[in-house]
Amino acid sequence: MDANNITDPNTLEVGTVLIIPAPELAAAGGNSLKIIPDSELVNGPAAARFSIKKFIASQGGYLNQYAEDVKGVVLNGADIIEAVSYNYSVNPRLLLALLEYQSGWVTNPNPVITDYPMGYADPAKAGLYKQVVWAANTLNRGYYLWRANALSTWVLADGQVIPIDPTINAGTAAIQYFFSELGGFEPWQYDTGIGGFVVTYYVFFDNPFGYAVEPLIPLTLSQPLMSLPFAEGESWYFTGGPHGAWDSGSAWGALDFAPMDNSGSCAISSHWVTAMADGLVTRTGVGSVIQDLDNDGYEQTGWVIVYMHVAADGRVAPGEYLFRNERVGHPSCEGGVSNATHVHVARKYNGEWISADGPIPFNLGGWVSSGTGIEYDGYLTSGSYSIEALDSAQPENLIKR
């Protein structure tokens, strides 16, 4: 806007020629300090037995007395941290340490900063819930972009550009990205350096590399047997190729399928979403069903399937064991963002979202997923036959099981 003397970006018209100024390179490169292992970014095995409620209560800060109306339900501070850590699959220890570092909410009963406790001063994201959601999504974006080898620089909030030190790990990249969204070079360098955020983490939880789970994703990992998420003999539309597993920052770990009976509407379908594999239902939420395939009761370990937009009426209950092909519930628009009835399916392993267009694609009864580099675009391929995802109901994207 400055380079083109623009005062109102809403007045831009088609055909306007814009000057794009070169980025300002920072005087020094990125920090090489490894802040956390990858297993401290994801809500994985290292966090499986961590009690969020007990830890918050033991610190006696503002968070322990906080409550907020979240979409019509009153949640306390521990509830909010727990919900976000599970939904986004981000380690609750990391969220708590960032909250303390940014605003002192965990230990200080009377913090100065109350509207924007994660430090992101956007009026549309005021309050603990929206701040923690923003933080989790931002951390995921840094982590999974680094995982996909899709980053080489950080663009700071003041426009400066920092080359990323190539020796850091994905967990550290997530934190460096988080702080890149909040300030200029000097604060970023301090926050990600030896005297910054890492000190808070060590004070709260000791050396995180001392209890790292490595490798988080074994090199020999393969997906267990899975089927398409609808009944044998039925045909559904393949409406979404690889896209965000949970919100925009996560890995492109999800696929979408829509039943034939009410394309284009949000009416609850009469058809059933069926279990893609054998496993225990550990949790349900607004539109969501989480199935644990190793049956240990911990969503943070092993393979997990997330089904989204499953209607409450007729939905399977937590604690039920589902065999492959048994009914999960009816597809709908419930939960998340949806413009038509469908089911969104995603996978995690040890808390990490597994990309649908990566080295371990979906294999759903012989249909193997792939991407094109464009979110929501992609293919399911069986032998020599491929079906492309389309955001519509067409004969071309109809897949029969």
> So what's the pLDDT on residue 262?
74
Residue 209: pLDDT band (50, 70, 90) is very high
Q: Is the pLDDT of residue 199 over 90?
A: yes
Q: Is the pLDDT of residue 156 over 70?
A: yes
In sequence order, what are the beta bridge partners of 162?
A: 154
The answer for residues whose C-beta is within 8 angstroms of residue 304's C-beta and 6 or more apart is 290, 291, 292, 293, 347, 348, 349
pLDDT in tens, 220-245: 999 999 999 999 999 999 999 999 99
> So what's the pLDDT on residue 27?
62
The answer for residues whose C-beta is within 8 angstroms of residue 300's C-beta and 6 or more apart is 43, 44, 45, 47, 48, 350, 351
| Average confidence (pLDDT) over 78-99 | 98
- Backbone conformation region of residue 233, classed left if phi is above 0, alpha if psi is from -120 to 50, else beta: left
Annotate 214-250 with b (16+ C-beta within 10 A) or e (fewer): eebbeeeeebbebbbbbeeeeebbbbbbbbbbbbebb
**Which runs of consecutive H residues, i.e. helices, occur in 148-227?**
170-180, 185-191, 197-205
> So what's the pLDDT on residue 248?
95
> So what's the pLDDT on residue 29?
77
> So what's the pLDDT on residue 268?
96
Q: Is the pLDDT of residue 54 over 70?
A: yes
Residue 210: pLDDT band (50, 70, 90) is very high
| Average confidence (pLDDT) over 176-198 | 96
Collapse the DSSP code of 262 into the 3-class scheme (helix H, G, I; strand E, B; otherwise coil) and give the result.
Answer: coil
pLDDT in tens, 112-151: 999 999 999 999 999 999 999 999 999 999 999 999 999 9
pLDDT in tens, 256-272: 999 998 778 999 999 99
Overall pTM > 0.85 = yes
Residue 10: pLDDT band (50, 70, 90) is confident
> So what's the pLDDT on residue 158?
86
Q: Is the pLDDT of residue 193 over 80?
A: yes
Of the chain, the percentage scoring pLDDT greater than 90 comes to 92
* Mean pLDDT taken over the chain: 96
* CB neighbours of residue 155 within 10 Å: 13
pLDDT in tens, 277-293: 999 999 999 999 999 99
d(CA 87, CA 246): 7
Domains plus CATH for the chain? 22-211 (no CATH), 235-400 (2.70.70.10)
Residue 215: pLDDT band (50, 70, 90) is very high
> So what's the pLDDT on residue 343?
98
Residue 13: pLDDT band (50, 70, 90) is confident
pLDDT in tens, 317-371: 999 999 999 999 999 999 988 889 999 999 999 999 999 999 999 999 999 999 9
d(CA 310, CA 339): 14
